[in-house]
Structure formats: structure tokens, C-alpha cells
Structure 1
Amino acid sequence: MDAAKSTNRPSIWKTRNGVLLAAALVTSAVAWWMIALPVATLSNISAHKGHFALTFAHMLGGSGMMVLGGFNLYLAAGKSRFPIHRRVGQGYLLIGTFGAILALIITLSPAHKTVGGPILTNSTISLSMLASAWLCFAALGWRAARNRKFASHGDWMVRSYVLVWSFVFCRVASRITNVGDLGNGEAFIRLSWVGPLILCEILLQWPRGSVGSRS
């Protein structure tokens, strides 16, 4: 019986989580090579003078979020190995919280800003909102799991991972000439995470509005 169920089970890569994971793996690999690798190899210390330790720690947190979050999407899509899924999820939340808080600290510091200029720029506010949104989504996902609302937990974790990916997309797209200047930086940063989040919400809610779906 178990073998028959395993045979009839659709490929993980054809599920919602599988598609999201595949897209995240490809784009994240490009982003890590472009942005995180120079920090990991200590080759751009001069570009982060005065705050490289924070940048390095943030790189570790962000890399951990992508790896652990992606691995847990894979486990969730397979609907198996729940003890491992739980431990990996706990690690994702812990290292993700660490990375998001560091992102807030760096964003709200004078790092990468004009000397003597304002700290609270449009870009600063937008990036701070993105990090804060991840912390909120992660907390809601954790709360849902604690209350054994696993469908809600899964949705919030997918949303949180979309925001992790949005960090990646924002960094990669900002390397394209003039894209980062859209709306003085504010519009671009907000669109880089609000847009994917809206698409994610459509994908999450679409099956629940189909014919024959039950509450």
C-alpha cells in the first residue's frame, strides 16, 4: 500500500513548494555569487569599512535563510520526515531572525550613506519595512505551528521565504543600470518585494476559490 502511494505521489518539483524552490535555487545561486561570495572570501572589506563584521554576519544569516528555508520547502512538499522538517524549520526561524535584525541594524546605521547625510532615506525605510515584514510573517508562521494550524503555518512560511527571495531579487536587480533609481530607490525596493508577495498570495489562494473546494 505504501509503495502504491509513493508511486502515485506527484513529483515534488511539480508542486507549489517545488516550483518556488526551483526558482529560488537558481536565482539565489546567481545572487550569492554576485554579492555574498566577495563578503565570504573577505575580498571586499574595503567596500564595507567600519561595518564589515556586521555585513559578514548578515551574509551568514541571509545564506542560512536561503539554504534552510529551501530545504524545508523540499521536505514540506514531500510531506514526509516531519521531525527533520521541524528541526530545520526551527533553525530557519532562528538564523532568519538573526539575519533580519542585522539587516535592520545595518539599514538604520550610517553604512553606505553619504557622510553627514540623513540616515532615514526612502531606501532605508523601504528596506526596513521588508525586514520587519519577514519578522512578522515568521512570527505568524511559528504561532500557527504552535497552535497546530499546519495549513496556515505552511502559507506563512511560504510567504516568509518569498520575502527572503525578495532580498535576493532586490540586490541582483539593483545591479542593472538605472533600475535602482526608480522612484528614487523607494518604488523599486517596494516593488521588488510587494510584487512577488502579491503573486505568491494569488498562488496560495487560487485553489481555495476553485469549484468543489471546501473550507
Structure 2
Amino acid sequence: MLLDKFVIFDLDGTIIKENSAWEMLHKHFKVDPSIVEKNKELYEKKIIDVDRWIEMDIKLWKNPHKKTIEDVLKKYTLIEGIKEFVEYLKKRGFILGIVSSGIDILAEKVADELGIDICYSNSLIFDEKGFLIGGKGNVDLLRKKEIAKNLSEKFKIPLKNFIIIGYTGYDMIDGVGIKIALNPKEKLDADYT
């Protein structure tokens, strides 16, 4: 029976133990963390948009092949109990989705593994030979609420019937029914921690 409830999960640091698919790749490609932090600051100050931020970050990897990226991103660990929790919610009729500012390759793999049908994340773009040539910012870290509103309209479920589960302030969307902070690294505006 459908309960007219929607659960939005963040991915990195929430469903998987790793805090960021981007960090996984930056570490693998030995990117200088100070450059990554400068790029993030430009984005957070709204000097650049999410597409430009992605473009600047992926240029630091020097056009790797898709297989290399897949190999790095397949080394994730699900948090303990997440499979059972997702099954519990599905059996009770909740609609489940992942909304992640992470990377599609990882988000879609995890969504498939857990049987979560709705997945929004940022895309990497590859040429016909499989080399990375760009990216698309489908999930703007600062605008996750817009995706929640779109899902609310699409499924005709009021935003107050949404539950959001994440671990950063970016995940704690105003207007949803319940905000759950899972293993937050800072104090968040959440209903439950």
C-alpha cells in the first residue's frame, strides 16, 4: 500500500561510507587538495556555477578512461544496515530516491544494487573511445530543494510528506516533513540525528 511518502537519500556519507565520489577520484589522481578547495570556494561563493565547478575539477584528472573511473568508484562500502532499511521502506510502500551531487557512475550502481528506481546525480561525459571529456551538473549542491519540489509535483506528494536523509547541511532541505542527519560531521538543522 502506497503511503504517499517519499524518502530522499543523499549518497556519499549516507548510503555509502565514503564521503565523496569526487574525493575518491581526486585522491586516486593525486590532485592537490588546495586546488580542489579553491574550486569549491568559488562555487560556494557563487562565482562559478555547478557546471563550471565540475569542468574545473575533472580537468585536474587529465582525461582518464571511463574504465579507470569505474574501477576507482567500485571500491565503495555500503553503510551497515542500509540494505535492510531500504527493503523495510519499500515493503511499506515508500517511494525512494537518491539525490546526490556526486557522480552518476557510482550513484546509479548503488541505486541498482539497492533497488532504488529514482536517481539524480551529476554526469560525466565520455568520447566514443571512452575518455572523459566533460561533465553535466544535474544536481546543484546548493539547489537540492528544487529537485525535491520537482519530485513532489511529479508524484503528487506534498513536500511535507518527504523524508530527507543526509549528513551535511546541503541535505537538510527546508519544507520537507522530516530531516534526518545520519552521522553528521557538524550540528545540523535536523529533526533526528
Same fold, judged at TM 0.5 (above): no
Task: Between the two structures, name the one with larger relative contact order (CA 8 Å, sep ≥ 6).
Answer: 2
TM-score by length of 2: 0.30
Q: Which structure has the bigger radius of gyration?
A: 1
More strand by share: 2
Q: Is the helix fraction higher in 1 or 2? A: 1
